[in-house]
Structures are given as structure tokens and as C-alpha cells.
Structure 1
């Protein structure tokens, strides 16, 4: 059976590769004008500017819209790449500026790399092979045949790639290695088991509660919660599928509900629509974000779903999670028989040197310092400085071990084991980011949005936006990247429909549409095997990546379906 699946996977990849060559040589890209609205101003020296990522960016030489080679009417006649990639323009006066870009897509073919990666993941259960296959397909479609120099090096020689390597390979791996070397994780698990955790249910409840506490969301939440609860849950007999599901589904969903984090500041930049008073200023847009939280039905149901599972109520958990619960109850096996966890076993085994006595505070103190630095830096800088937090925790862990008499050689050995334990997961993460960049460059999200028209019945729009963002985020493995695509296109569409179809409560309609984009992106990111949070949830909990994907997608889909019903009912009865 394995050989047959392997052969089918190879044939599928070859067919996809031939298709990619055909697209590159025979299919002409469709060029699309993308309009981005920013809140512009005149700075102290009289120059036009706007703010992006907290930095002031100058606006140089805006031109009339009708003269721009990037307007849609000019792009429709374009036979090759436009002479420029972006340009500031104005329609009536320089008081009404917007940035326009020339993007392209290959219609539905733009989704091919992500589709190949996901299918190969499901067929081979080898994330590295699947992601590499998707990268090859995307590179060929873009005509980048020297994959090493034209794809991997440019994508890995970026600040975001370096940040990932430092954080997840050195800092996270080093910290987990130190906890294994000192026995701190095991000591903490023993203490929790004796005083607080009495079985699988209480272990899952602790996990769920920590997911609420670490409401910064995304990678930070999954790493913090996963590394904290892993030793406790293993000792209590919680299957890795259950643990990774609770960790993952209380990360981004919680961050979108308890939004005292970086999300509102990031997202508000995409919400400006000329002439819409309640979205006029940055404060207005942030207030709009918080006003829309009660309509984040998917996020609410996702968090409730994890709570129900933590209470051993499995009605909406789906068969994969039920099978995992039955397996661990009957056999004690935390993983399925064919599982291949993407973190090394040595990270989850004690390697304490002879004569060294572990103490739970060696786990608690670094963790507390991590939380304090992360939260303190958020209030000080507006963004949680994750690298500072993990660096402080790692150095504190090393200092305590040395102070207690552990030899420097043994400390370095623990640190090195930690690096080895997460190197495969780090490579998977890098590949996932690379295929996400290729998918975005191929314009899959733009194609999906462009396929929508302005003559959609208003009550259909929320579910269409939800499905669209689910597909984009699933294909690219990022919710924040999906926001950058979907909000600037989806909300103006929602406003146009609200005005042309005479809705008596357009602001409420906009809130619901906003929530569908926000939540649809979270769903796609959660369920995608090429998402960083999915990979990190699997890595920190010791779960097989595809086991996590297949077990999480069922309850997540239940939550998404129920949310879709409520969004549709809300706009039908109240707008």
C-alpha cells in the first residue's frame, strides 16, 4: 500500500510539474490594478507622508490617476510586465491620494503550488517533501528555474527568515534543550501532577486556561502554551492530537476576541475607505475593530470547542479526535502507530547529569521572565518583543544551571540537543514561508477576490468573504498575509453593496463582513499544513503534523459552518 501511494504521489507531482511548465510558457498572466488607501498627512517639513509598520514613509511625485500606466484600463492592453510596480496617484486633488500597484494572476492556476503541497502532505505524510514539491511548482510557474538562487536564497536572506531561525532554532530549541538537560520540565510536571493536574481532563483545562492567558496569539501563544503544558499533559496521558488542537485553537481565535495585542494596530491600516465616516481615522478604525468582536462567531465557537474537549465532551470533536482519545485510553499511546513527530524525542526526555537535582523553579522562573518581558515590551513598544522574551528566558535558564553546579560542557550539550531537536521543524517552517510568498506572488488571493462581482445579494456576501479568505489563508498559510489581500478589496465591496442595495444599517453590515474576513482567515491559517502556527503547535506538543491537521480540521469546520449560519442570519434579519 505504501509503495502504491508513493507511486501515485510521484505521478501526481510529475503531472503538476508539466502543468507548471505549460503555464509558464503558454498562459499569459492577467494584470490587475490594486488600490491601497492610507491615511496621508503633511509632516513637519511640508512633505506628504503616511505611516506603515510604525515608520513614516514619504510620498514622492504623485501623478493624476489618468496618466498612470498602472490603472486598469492601461493594464488591460499590457502585453508584458508594466514599467513600474507601484505609484502614488490622485483623482481629483492631492487631498485624495492612493497607492496603486500592478499585480497579476494566472486565474485558478495560481492556486496550484499550494494545492500540490497540501495533496502531497496528505498522501505522503512527509511535510518537507510536500512543501518542496509545492515550491518547485511555484518557481517553475514564475519562470525561476534556478530555484536555489532565485527562490531559496532571496526568501531566506530576509529579516523575517533570520528572525525565524534565531527564534525557533536557537532560542526556542535552546530553551527546550536546557529544560530537558536540567530536568526542569519533568520537575514542573511532577509538581503540577501532585497538586493540580489529576488526569487528562484537568491537564487539558490547564492548557485551555493558558491559551486564554497568552492572548497575544499566533506563534507566541502556540510556543508558550505548547512548551509549558507538554510535560504535564504527557504525564497525565493526553493524546498529542488533543493537546495540539487545544493549543492551536486557543491561539489566533483568542487573539481576535481578546484583542489587546498587535492585531488591531496592524489590521486598521487596511480598513480606510474614502467617504466612510466611521473608518476615517486610526482611532475610528481601531474602535470599529473592537465593536466587531461580538460578531467573531467562528473564533468564539473555536474556543468553546476546545473547552468542551477539555471537559471530555466530544460531541463536536470529530472522529479523528475521538479515535485519539480511545487509543490513549486503551493503549496509553500518545501518538498514532504511524506518527512521525517533527520534534526530536530527546527534547522530551530527561538528560539530567548525575548528581544534579532538578527543581520546578528552573522551569517556572524562565517562563515567568518570558511572560513579563513579552507583556512589558508590548506596553513599552506597542509590540511584544518575542526575541527579547525568549533570550531572557534562555539566559536565565543557563545562568541557574551554572549557578547550581552544572558544568559548562553539559550546558552546551543541552543547548546543542535543543537545536538538533527543532532543526527539522525550522526547515519545514522556512519552506512553508517560502511557498506562502510564491502563492502570494502568483496572485491566487487576488484572483479569488476579483472573481466576485458587485451584483451579489447582500445576504450572500458574508459567507462568500468567509469562504474566500478560508481558501486564501489555507493556500498561503498566513492569516495576516490574507488580511493584506482581503480587507482592502472586500470591505470596499461590502460598502458598495450596502449603498447600492439600500441597507438601512450599513455599519452593522460592515461589521459582519469585517468579522467574516477576520475569522475566515483565522480558520484557513489554523487548518493549513503550511501555516507557522500549525507547524509550531505540532512541534511544541510532539504531534505528527498531518495527524494534527486532520484532527483539528473537523471541529474547526463545525465551528465555521455554525458561524456562517449566524453571519447570514444576522445580515438577513438586522441590516
Structure 2
């Protein structure tokens, strides 16, 4: 990443002061010094404030707590032995300009509903503010967007590790789909589905089983379970709801998925810009799972509905129609012709479909991460080990081991030739390229907000206006609105994560809560970006996973959105009202989950109605 500090020539050849590229009016900043024999008596003055020079443990000389004047340029002076020995003049901007790049990215994403142009324009605007809003700065900022920020994002070793890991996971998913492993897992569960309740439960269980990728989850389960649920007179709307509500939620919660590299990469980038915070991105990810109330409660609600066979709203009408008339589609339903099985990853029809060929690579992947974290970490407790471990190494080692295991199983059993295996790996890898573009652009946008001190400004501006406990809830709503308008949870995370993590930390620091006892606020803020993005994604008619769920389930897309929306809204309101807000003020997360689950049960019991008819067992062919 680009270093946000630029060395300025000092008036004295012996002493130099290094100042930020940009300082914001009213926002404290710091400088570093070289060339001084000792810090004794050395002072730094800026904006009418003078602070002493301090010595860090590594011997670095610095001064912090400086502020820019309300108007005019900022002059930084180093005072030593009775005179000014070095000066520098960083560019000074009004604080509100620092939030322009992320706000522009959000606004463009909302209007254009395209996340890549939104992120690119956000980076460009940040580069222009750093260079100066002049014709030369506009042109120079455009070239700096790719030459400085995007290039540095790709060149970073940690970023490259995340990209490699995610691509390898996508390749592994492609192999285990092509060798029939995932189909074998599906077949094992399908044999048990013989009633509508069991059919819905089996579909939900498959959603938990195929946890490693939300796209694979939607396509595999929708296409596989569609003939089964049709025979059981389960409406296509209900199938699409179960598929949609067990794809992104489980992928956002599982410990090893195609999401994990993306999420950890964003979290690491966000916390890297916070001085004094040494938490590891993977450790924060693990802690944040406890506060992801919407995905957890969404999965819970799927199984509650399946077990009770009660519905309300438009879904009741759809299920009543299917059970009593056998019409799994409503009159005039429009079904995409692409709802037929995809041939891209279809396993060879003359080869056995063994679930073992999917389970073993996934187990190698999961346990590989655990072993990698244990080997590279230190400490007496699990939390200490994970917090100090090199998650990049663990993820890369495990992804390679998982891919090699999938290759050996496919070729060793002569299910696929080596060429076919490599082709399926490549196709799986290609499915992740779009997400990787978003991730790299998100890293680049984060670099511009770091240079512009956006997080510092928000923390300073909002610390007095916002109670820390309410900030995660606001983040949840903002993420949901962004995902709803853009239709992408990944794009939402890419835009918001670098911004809101620094905001949350700034508010915590300003209120004296930047200590381990209150880290739950940071975990909750991270979880709310992810959970809010999933919620908005579920409610959005332009969401990629919502469209895939409709397509794979053979359901009219508008009917899927219309019937799912009341359920998603209910779970979302319960998640924020009984989960995110109370835990922001110290309420135990586990008690919030229990209360949320209880309220969902009560609402379903009092407002839901049992579905009549067709409860006898039906013989179901293996998918």
C-alpha cells in the first residue's frame, strides 16, 4: 500500500520532519522526525498548538496531537535549542472532503447499480483530493488510481495471499462439482425426503452442507431439489426461499468458504489503518460471527417453518395452492429457460457420484486452516493462538492441500482425466474473478481513505453525536440499504468495510472505550457490515443470489421476491431490534439470539397458518 506519509525537505539539512500528504482541519495528526540527536527539549508546533517530541520503543522520534488551523495552510515547525530547525507545509483540506470518496462510491452504486464503476470513481476522487483539485490533479489522479493505489493493492503480500486463496477455493469447488462429489452428498440427503416437511428440511440441510460457496449452493440445491419438491407439492416459491435463505447466510457464517478470503482481506485492510490495534483479521472475523444475528436467525427461521409447516403472507397463498391443487407455479408464472441444469460443472453421467469426493477435500481444507493457525500462532489459549497466527499462511496452505486432494481423488478413481480436472479447476477459478476485481478496488479505495484520514474525521465529528452502542445498528441499516440498491453483498462489503471499521474505532476511542473490554463493539460493527449486506441482498430484486435462486428453482423471479420479502423483513427487524441494538449496549449476545428466536417462533405461531392437504409420504427418485 502507498505510504501515507511524504518526507518534506527541512530548512535544516540535519533535521527533517515527515508530515502526512494531507491534513484535515480540526482533526489531530502526527509527524515523525529524523536528524535530532535527542528529543530533550524538542517541540513541534502547528495550528497554534505546540507538543513535545516523544521517543518510541524503536527509537523513532514523533509528535502527535497536532491540529490544522480553521483556515489557511498548515505550517509545521520543529523547535529545538531556541529556534526552528525544520518546517513543512502539508496540504490542508476541510474535514468533510475526506468522506467524499466513499460517499461517491456509495451514491454511484445506488444510482447505477454497478459496484465496479462506483469503486473506481471513489478511488479516482480520493486520488484527486490528495493531488489537488486542479486540471493537472484530475489527470494525475486518474493515472495514480491504477499506477499507485490499484498497483499497491495488488503488490501487497497479504493481499496477494488472499487472492490466491480465494481463487484456489473456487478451483476446488469446480473440481468437486465436476467429479460428482457434491451430487453424492445431495443424493444421500434426498433419499430421506418423503413428505413436505422432510422435503423442506432436507433442502435446508443441503444448504448447510454445501456451505463453501453461495453461488454453488443456489445452483446445486435449486436444480437438484426441484424435481423432489415438485413431487411433494412444495411450491417453487418456497423452494426458492429456502435456497436463497441458506446460501449467503451459511456462506457468511462458515469458517472456510469462498467468502472468507474476501472478508478477512477487507477486515485486515480496515484495521491496518488504526494505530495501536494489533488484532488479526481472521480473529476479528471469528469473534464477529457471534454478532451476525440476521444470518443466524434467517437459517433458524427456515427450519422452524419447515418443522411447523406454518406460513403467513404471500407464501401461505403459494403453499396452499401447491398442496391443494398440485400447481407448484402460479398462473402466468414466467420461468427463465436457464433454470435447467448447468452443463458447465455437470459430472460425467457414467461415473459414480461419491459424496466422499467432496467431503474429504473440504475436511482437508477446514483442518488445514486449523493446523496452519496452530503452527503459526503462539499463546496459552485458543484466542491467543488465533490472534497471533499467520492466517495468510494457514489459508494458503489449506487451499493448496484441498485442491490437491480433490485432484488426486478425481484422477485416482478415473472419474476425470487430468485435463478434465484442470479444466474444471480453471472454470471454478474463473467464477471468482469478478469478486477479486471488487476486492482489489475495495483495497484501493481503503488506501485513499487512509491517506485522507477519513476514519479519523468521522470519529472526531461523530464521537459526541453518536452513542457508541447505536453505531453498529446504523451500520447494519446502511449496509442493508446499499446491498438492496446494488444487489451485491460483496460489493457492499467492499465499499463499507474500510469506512465503518475506522468510524467505529474512532467513536470508541473518543468515548474512552478503545480497550479489550469493549472490543465487542468493533466485532459487532464488522458483523453488521456482513449481516446487513446479506439482509439487503435477500430483499433486493436485483440481487445476484436472489436471481440465481429463482433461476435454479424454476420460480418466477418477481414471485420469489414477493413471497420472500415478508420473511426477510421480519427476521431483519428482529435481528436489529433484539440483537444488534441491545448488544451494542452490553447485552449478552447469546441472550439476544434466544430472545430473537423466541419472538420469531411466537410470530409464526400467532400469525402463521398450517398448510392443509398432501401430508402423506411420497416415493422420491434419487436426484
Partner of 1:193: 190
Partner of 2:202: 202
- State the distance in 2 between where 1:233 and 1:109 align: 41
C-alpha deviation, 1:140, in angstroms: 3.5
Q: Answer yes or no: is the 8 Å Cα contact 1:469–1:486 preserved in 2.
A: no
Matched, 1:109 2:109: no
C-alpha deviation, 1:163, in angstroms: 2.9
Aligned partner (choices 150, 153, 160) of residue 151 of structure 2: 153
Could you say what secondary structure the match of 2:511 adopts? helix
Q: Answer yes or no: is the 8 Å Cα contact 1:182–1:401 preserved in 2.
A: yes
Matched, 1:362 2:328: no
Could you say what secondary structure the match of 1:357 adopts? coil
Partner of 1:330: 328
Could you say what secondary structure the match of 1:413 adopts? helix
Q: Answer yes or no: is the 8 Å Cα contact 1:249–1:306 preserved in 2.
A: yes
Partner of 2:169: 172
Q: Answer yes or no: is the 8 Å Cα contact 2:459–2:505 preserved in 1.
A: no
Gaps of 5+ in 2: 1-21, 31-55, 79-92, 129-140, 227-237, 256-262, 377-385, 483-491, 588-623
Partner of 1:377: 372
Partner of 1:407: 417
TM value normalised by structure 1: 0.58
Q: Answer yes or no: is the 8 Å Cα contact 1:173–1:418 preserved in 2.
A: yes
Cα distance 1:483–1:448, how it changes in 2: closer, same or farther (>3 A)? Answer: closer
Q: Answer yes or no: is the 8 Å Cα contact 1:178–1:398 preserved in 2.
A: yes
* CA deviation vs aligned residue, 1:195-221 (integer Å, no higher than 9, x gap): 47942323214535x69xxxxxxxxxx
Partner of 2:577: 561
Cα distance 1:305–1:360, how it changes in 2: closer, same or farther (>3 A)? Answer: closer
- State the distance in 2 between where 1:375 and 1:435 align: 31
Partner of 2:49: none
Q: Answer yes or no: is the 8 Å Cα contact 1:117–1:130 preserved in 2.
A: yes
Could you say what secondary structure the match of 2:579 adopts? helix
- State the distance in 1 between where 2:524 and 2:568 align: 18
C-alpha deviation, 1:396, in angstroms: 1.2
C-alpha deviation, 1:373, in angstroms: 1.0
- State the distance in 1 between where 2:70 and 2:473 align: 29
Cα distance 1:232–1:247, how it changes in 2: closer, same or farther (>3 A)? Answer: closer
- State the distance in 2 between where 1:450 and 1:167 align: 37
C-alpha deviation, 1:106, in angstroms: 0.9
Partner of 1:466: 473
- Per mean C-alpha deviation after superposition, the further-off stretch among 312-321 and 229-238 is 312-321
- Per mean C-alpha deviation after superposition, the further-off stretch among 306-315 and 179-188 is 306-315
Cα distance 1:433–1:119, how it changes in 2: closer, same or farther (>3 A)? Answer: farther
- State the distance in 1 between where 2:456 and 2:337 align: 36
Partner of 2:511: 494
Aligned partner (choices 222, 225, 232) of residue 236 of structure 1: 225
Could you say what secondary structure the match of 2:305 adopts? coil
Partner of 1:142: 127
Could you say what secondary structure the match of 1:59 adopts? coil
- Per mean C-alpha deviation after superposition, the further-off stretch among 520-529 and 418-427 is 520-529
Question: What is the aligned length?
Answer: 443
- State the distance in 1 between where 2:112 and 2:366 align: 38
C-alpha deviation, 1:181, in angstroms: 2.8
Partner of 2:399: 390
* CA deviation vs aligned residue, 1:520-549 (integer Å, no higher than 9, x gap): 4444454577xxxx999789989899999x
Matched, 1:417 2:402: no
What aligned pairs does 1:450-461 form with structure 2 within 5 A after superposition?
450-454=460-464, 460-461=467-468
Partner of 2:299: 306
What aligned pairs does 1:527-538 form with structure 2 within 5 A after superposition?
none
Q: Answer yes or no: is the 8 Å Cα contact 1:156–1:430 preserved in 2.
A: yes
- State the distance in 2 between where 1:442 and 1:307 align: 42
Cα distance 1:467–1:422, how it changes in 2: closer, same or farther (>3 A)? Answer: closer
What aligned pairs does 1:425-436 form with structure 2 within 5 A after superposition?
425-435=435-445
Could you say what secondary structure the match of 1:477 adopts? helix
C-alpha deviation, 1:242, in angstroms: 4.1
TM value normalised by structure 2: 0.54
Could you say what secondary structure the match of 1:145 adopts? helix
- State the distance in 2 between where 1:306 and 1:201 align: 11
- State the distance in 2 between where 1:103 and 1:317 align: 54
Q: Answer yes or no: is the 8 Å Cα contact 1:173–1:415 preserved in 2.
A: yes
C-alpha deviation, 1:412, in angstroms: 2.6
C-alpha deviation, 1:229, in angstroms: 8.2
CA RMSD of aligned residues (A): 5.8
- State the distance in 2 between where 1:139 and 1:327 align: 53
- State the distance in 1 between where 2:242 and 2:205 align: 12
* CA deviation vs aligned residue, 1:426-478 (integer Å, no higher than 9, x gap): 4344445445555565555444433325376xxx5422453157648966637
Gaps of 5+ in 1: 1-27, 37-56, 88-101, 122-128, 212-221, 256-260, 499-505
Cα distance 1:195–1:514, how it changes in 2: closer, same or farther (>3 A)? Answer: same
C-alpha deviation, 1:377, in angstroms: 2.0
* CA deviation vs aligned residue, 1:325-346 (integer Å, no higher than 9, x gap): 99998349xx9957999xx944
- State the distance in 2 between where 1:78 and 1:339 align: 63
Partner of 2:60: 61
Cα distance 1:116–1:245, how it changes in 2: closer, same or farther (>3 A)? Answer: farther
Q: Answer yes or no: is the 8 Å Cα contact 2:203–2:225 preserved in 1.
A: yes
Q: Answer yes or no: is the 8 Å Cα contact 1:436–1:476 preserved in 2.
A: no
Q: Answer yes or no: is the 8 Å Cα contact 1:367–1:393 preserved in 2.
A: yes
- State the distance in 1 between where 2:120 and 2:572 align: 27
Matched, 1:477 2:470: no
* CA deviation vs aligned residue, 1:372-427 (integer Å, no higher than 9, x gap): 21222233323452222221121111112222234323223323333344444443
C-alpha deviation, 1:363, in angstroms: 1.4
